[in-house]
Amino acid sequence: DAKTTQPPSMDCAEGRAANLPCNHSTISGNEYVYWYRQIHSQGPQYIIHGLKNNETNEMASLIITEDRKSSTLILPHATLRDTAVYYCIVSDFTSGTYKYIFGTGTRLKVLA
Amino acid sequence: DGGITQSPKYLFRKEGQNVTLSCEQNLNHDAMYWYRQDPGQGLRLIYYSQIVNDFQKGDIAEGYSVSREKKESFPLTVTSAQKNPTAFYLCASSRDRKANEQYFGPGTRLTVT
């Protein structure tokens, strides 16, 4: 079973920030939070990952709460091309379990 | 351009036939993965390989087989023993077994009738 809980769908107006939440209340100390997105019928695309500090790259920002039980992916200025399913995953690639467990993700629709 | 290629994009087979899905990468990555995705669901890990000539079962390996004879290639065979083979199959690679980022191919949609 997936270790994360995400809302099944969200809408966002084009040009506005999209804030996608994720709960991971059972996360352990060595587990990272990863975000991927999948545009319809394509392979998933890596967005960002973090352990406990907030992270930012050219695509998005990742905000992790101090207790690490939840996180938010922020797309600062959503465009129509950001319409996709977004997956939040927690995994520990240092322990010998070299795999992700995908849930069903959040289907983000960016509206014109 | 570096990346992962999967072929073909669509594949049709009759029930009872084995079929092999191709996955090639020119990223010089050590680790490669095969996932299956059913409609409306997330990805599930079938097999993964951390290095040439070595591979491990994932969560749903029954009815599938793989080989890793070359670093750049990780073909997946869907055997007749797989009870529900119709699905979207995705191949991925990462720099090594501890790398944080996996790069995915475009996928192969297999339909078995």
Residues A18-35, mean pLDDT to the nearest whole number: 92
The whole-number pLDDT of residue A12 equals 97
Residues of B with Cβ-Cβ distance to A34 under 8 angstroms: 100
Please tell me which residue of chain B has the smallest CA distance to A8: B40
Task: Find tokens 């390996």 and name the residue.
Answer: B61
Q: What percentage of chain B has pLDDT greater than the value 90? A: 81
Number of residues that this document lists for chain A = 112
The whole-number pLDDT of residue A104 equals 87
Please tell me which residue of chain A has the smallest CA distance to B33: A99
CA atoms within 13 A on the CB side of B94: 18
Cβ of A93 within 8 Å of Cβ of B48? The answer is: no
Of A43, A49, A103, the CB nearest to B107: A43
Q: Render pLDDT for A30-52 as a digit per residue (tens, 0 to 9).
A: 888 999 999 988 999 999 999 99
Kindly state the tokens that stand for B86. 């119709």
Of A42, A98, A100, the CB nearest to B97: A98
Task: Tell me, yes or no, if B103 comes closer than 8 A to chain A by beta carbon.
Answer: yes
Please give the span between the terminal C-alpha atoms of chain A, in angstroms, as a whole number. 35
Q: What is the DSSP letter of A17?
A: P
